[in-house]
A and B are shown apart, each in its own frame.
Chain A
């Protein structure tokens, strides 16, 4: 086995000016699994995700992806990233162009037919194939979210991180979303999902990270979580219950 972990975070501390968003976070994730990240608002989940995918440049500690330093890995490959949905500014860009963004690194000077084909395939996977020529602000919130997922998976990354991707998805789309995650998982892709959806967590993931400034819990299995875990989680003073999983 070349590399045990696909993602190793060691003593990660991230600050925004005086605000410490993450402090001494440590964990390691295995390849090909499906993880969830939970935690209260402002707990640092998005900060962690942004640090892993390369948006946040200044941090203390180490982030290693497949045994390589983050920046070294990111020079060669992308980590798939679905941002937390925010206010979308009106911008005259088509759905297909947004998905093509995910293939930007694969092109020389311009997008060619093969890129368009891949982008359309990715849209198909999220059931959005009929929307490629629409402008992004002509879509509903859930549809936009699916476009963002298509952009993240179009480059077939080894790791896919999604920041609250199920917000705004209807029940059927959530079902489709789980199925998509399973399918991607089966191709060997490691999937990490930030969510507040506790039902979602307990049902589907292989491991849970709980972040509240520090990494509070890293449970191997949902069953390992103590009873009032989620009650505590969204209150203050969450105690460390479990640390890095041992196996």
Chain B
């Protein structure tokens, strides 16, 4: 608990909790829509943004955001025309990493800054990041409160949501854009490599133990927030990288829920 006596520890906790709430709520939809690859795809695609920003000396967060949102919209557009989200991602995934790497190489940036994008640094975030996270998380929570049923209906029975007159493109693209933004925010904490865990793992654990989709929306944020909390404590006590520690805790929770599920039949 000692870590929370320091400002950086408190900032890490607040930032981590905010991003945990946002990613796990949207992650529940991701898991229900069976588009798990999408999160990691957005993060990898955003690496072009990092490359571009470093190359042209633009503010990285803004460029990454723009690239992530564009990627989400393009992939969503493909998905609505029959290319499954995960296939679209698979095609663009490695190409975008390659492009990012080339841009960064050409920009002659020193490796430690690149490492920060790949692996993030939750202990280095500032109040500005926290404010930004709060806004994003508030938007995500509002979206889930008002459009949870809409996006669930679209996922479960798209035809009937047309009968109901639901504005499918609006609900769907808003979801994708919020997902992209949340991923970029979490990338600052966990890095490109680990961010998809934040989206998928707590929601997947929740899906194992909750019977209904409503239950998932309650349980996934709880699991994710708890993982951030204990992940930070473990990282301090065992002197291991914080982001990796959080993701490891999430993985252990998943394993645990999986065992509970199997043992309880």
A54 touches B162 (CB 8 A): yes
Within 149-165 of B, Cβ neighbours of A (below 8 Å) are at 149, 152-153, 155-157, 159-160, 162-165
A91 touches B164 (CB 8 A): no
Q: Please tell me if A81 contacts chain B, counting CB pairs below 8 Å.
A: yes
Partner of A135, one of B153, B163, B211: B211
20 pairs, A vs B, C-beta closer than 8 Å? A54-B162, A54-B163, A55-B159, A57-B162, A75-B165, A79-B163, A83-B160, A89-B156, A91-B32, A91-B155, A91-B156, A92-B32, A92-B207, A92-B211, A92-B213, A93-B213, A94-B211, A101-B164, A135-B212, A151-B160
- Nearest Cβ in chain B — how far from A238, in angstroms? 28
Q: Mark B123-165, 1 if CB is under 8 A from A, else 0.
A: 0000000000000000000000010010011011101101111
Q: Please tell me if B216 contacts chain A, counting CB pairs below 8 Å.
A: yes
> How many residues of chain A are within 8 Å of chain B by beta carbon?
23
A57 to chain B: closest residue by CB: B162
* A75 to B166 Cα, complex, angstroms: 11
Q: Please tell me if B167 contacts chain A, counting CB pairs below 8 Å.
A: no
A81 touches B156 (CB 8 A): no
- Nearest Cβ in chain A — how far from B105, in angstroms? 44
B159 touches A50 (CB 8 A): yes
Which residues of chain A are near B159, meaning CB under 8 Å? 50, 55, 83
A93 touches B156 (CB 8 A): yes
Asked, given contacts A74-B165, A75-B165, A79-B163, whether A101 binds B32 with beta carbons under 8 Å apart, the answer is no
A104 touches B149 (CB 8 A): yes
Known: A83-B159, A91-B155. 6 other contacts (CB 8 A): A50-B159, A54-B162, A55-B163, A79-B163, A93-B152, A93-B156
Q: Please tell me if B237 contacts chain A, counting CB pairs below 8 Å.
A: no
Within 70-109 of A, Cβ neighbours of B (below 8 Å) are at 74-75, 78-79, 81, 83, 89, 91-94, 97, 101, 104-105, 109
Asked, given contacts A50-B159, A81-B160, A91-B156, whether A105 binds B165 with beta carbons under 8 Å apart, the answer is yes
Q: Please tell me if B210 contacts chain A, counting CB pairs below 8 Å.
A: yes
7 closest A-B pairs by beta carbon, nearest first, are A55-B162, A55-B159, A104-B164, A91-B156, A92-B213, A53-B163, A92-B212
A residues bordering B, Cβ < 8 Å?
50, 53-55, 57, 74-75, 78-79, 81, 83, 89, 91-94, 97, 101, 104-105, 109, 135, 151
* A89 to B157 Cα, complex, angstroms: 10
* A74 to B164 Cα, complex, angstroms: 9
* A30 to B165 Cα, complex, angstroms: 25
B164 touches A78 (CB 8 A): yes
A101 touches B210 (CB 8 A): no
B212 touches A97 (CB 8 A): yes
* A53 to B161 Cα, complex, angstroms: 11
B160 touches A93 (CB 8 A): no
- Nearest Cβ in chain A — how far from B208, in angstroms? 11
* A81 to B212 Cα, complex, angstroms: 24
Which residues of chain A are near B156, meaning CB under 8 Å? 89, 91, 93
